[in-house]
Amino acid sequence: MQELALIRPGRKADTELVLERDKTALKREFEDRLAECGTLAFRVARSVLRNASDAEDVAQEAMLQAYRRFERLRDPSRFRVWLVRITFRLALDQARSSRRREQRETVWAGAVPRPTPEDLAASRDFGRRLDQTMETLSEKSRLILVLSAMDGHSLEEVAELLQVPLGTVKSRLHTARKRLAEKLR
Amino acid sequence: MKCDKYRGTLIDGAATGGKLEGGLAGHLKVCAQCRARMQEEQSLFEAIDDALRSKVNEIPQASFLAGVRAQIWKETAPKSRWSLMWAMASAALALIAVTHPWTRPPRQPVEAGLPKAPTISVQQKSELAGSKRDSTMGSSATARIQQHLAKQLIAEQASHREPEVLVPPDEGKAFVQFVARLRQRDEVAQAFVTPAPSTAADENKELPQIPPVEIARLQLKPLIWEEGK
């Protein structure tokens, strides 16, 4: 037989109702923010990771973390700043761990596989070279390049997202592009 | 020599894509090699920008946002599952809890029900201490204790004004939510206390109609009586 507990529902009911209302409002607000910033999170993750599926996983994790801390991140500008940072960080971690896994698997396989003609053809592909070169840049430079290349992001908005002065964004962007070009030349 | 001098500014000029400074612009007019180099650099920067733009402006699959929503929903959903039986049992208890304060008879005065035990304990204490206090001193101490106990009892009874209900321990929170929702719905309580029709004339009267109570994540169904069950 199941045990029963004695409760006084009337006293808790009002508090519960207020809490429930708060929770519903919070959830609705987060839904709006999700629709507004979900793609941004995906794009930031995608800029670091090589496939869209991994990027979706990372963006999802970032949004979940954002939801858990949403009470502190209700201010929309603060939310975007936080989301960009956390997504970028999570994506970098994910990229690092995939790289480590790849290296381990290569070591376990015993020998480094020789590149196939297809690999060689792919290595000539500019996009791939760009990806590889991006990985050699500093995190700050990468984030600046990614955010400023996103549609609808002016340099002022990038400055706001990264919380640095506009001049800093301009100079960092210039240096990052030059460094990228230097390595791709 | 002049070409080396302009090498740095040439790359800067290609990177910014803006107006070229006077010296470099003059040099490019006369040097075909640097002009070609400038074009190469400009196309390299354009290619970088295009590749970056196409990479970072990818649109996620339509299922992405739905997936995030589902994940969040999963995270916020209650751990325990409501069975219909317990939901119905709690609903019935909730109705009793809501209507209880109106149907309960008024309370008796507090002092009438005071226990006698403290008087005895004080007397026993006096005897044990071996003191020779007179009866008036003993009765004043008893009165003080009685007053104190009366206050305690009033406080205790005040805290008991809310009806108490027995529920399964893991259903407590949901039950409280149910009661909270009912508190906003006076018509439910009114319908509950409306007497059932006893005469033929009463039967013609319209019974109060109430829309169903809705609580997120909790499905409420009316009890249906089945013969033999």
- AA letter at B60: P
Give the chain A residue nearest B181 (alpha carbons).
A17
Strand partners of residue A7: B165
Q: Flag whether pLDDT at A34 surpasses 70.
A: yes
What is the nearest CA distance from A65 to chain B, expressed in angstroms?
A: 10
What is the nearest CA distance from B213 to chain A, expressed in angstroms?
A: 14
Closest CA to B153 of B111, B125, B181: B111
Q: Using 50, 70 and 90 to split pLDDT, how confident is the model at B71?
A: confident
Q: Flag whether pLDDT at B122 surpasses 50.
A: no
Give the residue, A180 or A108, on which the prediction is more confident: A180
The b-or-e profile of B15-51 (16+ CB within 10 A means b, else e) is: beeeebeeebeebbeeeeebeebbeebeebbeebbeb
d(CA A185, CA B23): 25
The token duo for B66 is 């739905």
Q: Using 50, 70 and 90 to split pLDDT, how confident is the model at A56?
A: very high
Q: Flag whether pLDDT at A164 surpasses 70.
A: yes
Give the residue, A120 or B17, on which the prediction is more confident: B17
Q: Using 50, 70 and 90 to split pLDDT, how confident is the model at B106?
A: low
Whether B180 sits inside 8 A of A63 (CB atoms) is: no
ipTM of the complex model: 0.74
The reply to whether A12 touches chain B by the CB within 8 Å rule is yes
Q: Which of residues 113-152 of B touch A (CB under 8 A)?
A: none
Whether A34 sits inside 8 A of B65 (CB atoms) is: yes
Q: Flag whether pLDDT at A16 surpasses 80.
A: no
d(CA A181, CA A134): 10
d(CA B47, CA B54): 11
pLDDT for the residue B203: 64
What is the nearest CA distance from A115 to chain B, expressed in angstroms?
A: 24
> Please, are residues B176 and B91 in contact by the beta-carbon 8 Å criterion?
no
Whether B163 sits inside 8 A of A46 (CB atoms) is: no
> Please, are residues A13 and B176 in contact by the beta-carbon 8 Å criterion?
yes
Strands B165-167 and A5-7: antiparallel
Q: Flag whether pLDDT at A115 surpasses 60.
A: no
Q: What is the pTM of this model?
A: 0.57
